[in-house]
Structure 1
């Protein structure tokens, strides 16, 4: 699994217990998987269709640095299915796991749009082919 993004847990990210608010973490995850999917599929209108059970394993506190990891499980006709893990950057202790996130590309009418992708592509490979 590749960890793409790091976040610094700040006071505004905390819940009343003084730990990272789960809603904030889910916001970060949703944004990261959306950006990742849009870049992979090269279709800006790509949205979250499904998230499987969310397993909060541990928490983070103010000052912690967390990182979000994403792994592609499969490509569908108009979708990409991902796995996501968030961990503490310094201790590598898992914070949350989401086994399955499905992102779907849409056309201008909001209907699923085929993307034609079958494997993970890296920007450097796309640039080399131009």
Structure 2
């Protein structure tokens, strides 16, 4: 599946009382990039509903002036739902990662098939990401 990548500049108005990037802003960027990934994968953003943000983990802070890189990809597909994996890093160091499950719905908010299919991979990192996404879908 295609990876969606974007970079953001951390500005003073996005800092918290500790002088680091406000977790809510990082979460917003994370969700936005994951939604864009989902929209590009399906081609129908109007049918996508976010149903669960799984274990969004903050590992290191981002500071004023940092450029953070956000990357998302589809990690699991079901019949009507799918899960994306996302990570945020700065200078190559992971600052945040997590998963989001979306459901594909019709105009009456009833789940419908999205027809996504994961491509084949033998990349051990991607396989581990997919394994974790599958585990989350069973909870």
TM-score (norm 2): 0.77
Shift of 1:71: 2.8
Stretches (4+) displaced over 6 A: none
Indicate the residue corresponding to 2:13 in structure 1.
Answer: 12
State how far apart, in whole Å, the 2-side matches of 1:66 and 1:32 are. Answer: 12
Shift of 1:116: 1.2
Going from structure 1 to structure 2, the CA distance change for 1:71 and 1:36 (only over 3 Å counts) comes to closer
* 1:4 match: secondary structure: strand
| Structure 1: gaps (5+ residues) | 121-130
- Structure showing the higher helix proportion among its residues: 2
| Structure 2: gaps (5+ residues) | 120-139
Indicate the residue corresponding to 2:103 in structure 1.
Answer: 104
Cα RMSD between the aligned structures?
1.7
| Among 74, 77, 88, the residue aligned to 1:86 | 88
In the alignment, structure 1 residue 48 sits paired with structure 2 residue 47: no
| Contact persistence 2:4–2:37 (CA under 8 A) | no
